[in-house]
Structure 1
């Protein structure tokens, strides 16, 4: 049996007649970075609020660390750190004072965790600077430090790179990867920016209009978005033989109409065309093709893949 930190069973939430979540069955393995993908309003934040206890489901159940009883969930949520929407900071306090205030409010023993968290997120040198004077990236880091108080096993972040400049995005990404790799923290990251999630997530869940459309690993997602060269020649059998013998690969697919999708050498199209022309083949169509992750997501939710 897989070791899961979170599983939901037919989880649903209705607001004033609107079904924000519709029978969601989601599972997150321990040690993974789970990219939770969806447009604004798809249901990402609603699910996060249910998991963290900020809202209650209309139907279905939540299981955390293998337990789904109400009392067990209360205890399990103490093992979770979260930052939902914009970090709630005390603007007239320093980074250290913000952490100390949150430590006291949450009943976390020992003051030694405050300087440790500041160092963990790279804010140890901010001194007496007030949070209201922090850059957006620094505020996001401070929000992350607050979420890390209590050394959580499971970290839930809602749009952690929202509004950051390119350098801030890179810094946040590397910090989260370090937390996952070195401390073993399981991370759920909600975002509508698939290209950014692709650089760090090991697993994905795609949600649209409250319904979980698909869960897949990074390897599976890369396979679905694999690049290839589309070849239509006057003699499909001969083209296949050339690919097998001259290019020494079987990594291709022959379509019903005789067209060939050649996955190998996709980054060396000139090598493919040279082998085909040398064999005397007439090439009707020869196009590098494939999808990037954004196009796959757009197609998966039923949008126009050409937008």
Structure 2
């Protein structure tokens, strides 16, 4: 995959405070990149620098194979974005707001506005003034505005804010569809790690302005520890049977009713059979691996910079 975005030692300071520090990011065509970090980590600032809304203090940005120079605007025609809370002309309809945007962008493809509204499930409200929209509807309209020009690069800053679970699932499916059908590269910042885990091809973990790691989700899944999780109403008996009878060496109690087994030499089926034979009540038993959330917090706690791994 060809890289659409490359940053090298990208840095931004406000006075003595360095909010982005030496970031080396690589975003490829047809890739969803999950940009993860706590509030104030520098995610939005990096996105604003990619759009030219904030001027870097140091380093360089390359977009679509060309270095981004002060005053560069031509690349913006190929980018869709949703940064922070979307703002609209409240008295105008969703359709009218998108008409103004496409005119400003010089994009005049017939049917594009209706297509975008349908994709975010707002087609039925196209003639309704935006002032009557809920927070979630405005967020959907912001996404529609970002995708209406079929961009090659899509920058989405916390795009599922204000959406209900059904809306989150719909947008997740939409992002994957845009990647697969249009070949669009998508940079998504989010604090909802479980949602990023379900769509991202690559993640970048940023904290304190430093990119700690850039790694493919395949690598994350391959490197995370696998374990068997047992939920039982009698943890003490289960632990005794696992260690004394089944000779499991590596277990850990998680709360009042859960045990994790990191010694995976026995299958969940064999474990269940052994526990049931000793009258251990089992509510559930499943093979799992550490989530992206656990990987993320381990990374933040470690705080060490890592080489990018694709």
TM-score normalized by the length of structure 1: 0.78
Matches within 5 A, 1:265-276: 267-268=268-269, 270=271
Q: Which residue in 2 is equivalent to 1:104?
A: 103
Q: Which residue in 2 is equivalent to 1:94?
A: 93
Matches within 5 A, 1:22-171: 22-70=21-69, 73-110=72-109, 112-171=111-170
Q: Tell me the CA shift for residue 222 of structure 1.
A: 1.3
Q: Tell me the CA shift for residue 220 of structure 1.
A: 1.0
CA distance change for structure 1 residues 134 and 289 in 2, over 3 Å: closer, same or farther? closer
Aligned partners of 1:129 and 1:289: how far apart in 2? 46
What is the RMSD of the two structures over their aligned residues, measured on CA atoms? 3.1
Aligned partners of 1:14 and 1:136: how far apart in 2? 33
Once the two structures are overlaid, the 10-residue window that deviates more, 178-187 or 220-229, is 220-229
Aligned partners of 1:181 and 1:114: how far apart in 2? 20
Aligned partners of 1:27 and 1:265: how far apart in 2? 41
Q: Which residue in 1 is equivalent to 2:298?
A: 299
Aligned partners of 1:33 and 1:130: how far apart in 2? 32
Deviations 1:153-201, CA, capped at 9 Å, x for gaps:
0100000011222122111111111111222211110011111101111
Deviations 1:239-297, CA, capped at 9 Å, x for gaps:
99xxxxxxxxxxxxxxxxxxx954576644616968xxxxxxxxxxxxx8853221221
Once the two structures are overlaid, the 10-residue window that deviates more, 174-183 or 108-117, is 108-117
Q: Tell me the CA shift for residue 19 of structure 1.
A: 0.6
Q: Tell me the CA shift for residue 147 of structure 1.
A: 1.0
* 8 Å contact from structure 2 (residues 12, 56) kept in 1: yes
Aligned partners of 2:111 and 2:194: how far apart in 1? 37
CA distance change for structure 1 residues 224 and 111 in 2, over 3 Å: closer, same or farther? same
CA distance change for structure 1 residues 96 and 299 in 2, over 3 Å: closer, same or farther? same
Aligned partners of 1:272 and 1:16: how far apart in 2? 64
Q: Which residue in 1 is equivalent to 2:279?
A: none
Matches within 5 A, 1:207-226: 207-226=206-225
CA distance change for structure 1 residues 200 and 267 in 2, over 3 Å: closer, same or farther? farther
Counterpart secondary structure, 1:198: helix
Q: Which residue in 1 is equivalent to 2:282?
A: none
* 8 Å contact from structure 2 (residues 117, 126) kept in 1: no
Counterpart secondary structure, 1:301: helix
In structure 2, list runs of 5 or more residues that go unmatched: 230-238, 250-260, 276-286, 303-310
CA distance change for structure 1 residues 262 and 125 in 2, over 3 Å: closer, same or farther? same
Aligned partners of 1:191 and 1:269: how far apart in 2? 40
Q: Which residue in 1 is equivalent to 2:308?
A: none
Q: Which residue in 2 is equivalent to 1:173?
A: 172
Q: Which residue in 2 is equivalent to 1:282?
A: none
Q: Tell me the CA shift for residue 90 of structure 1.
A: 1.2
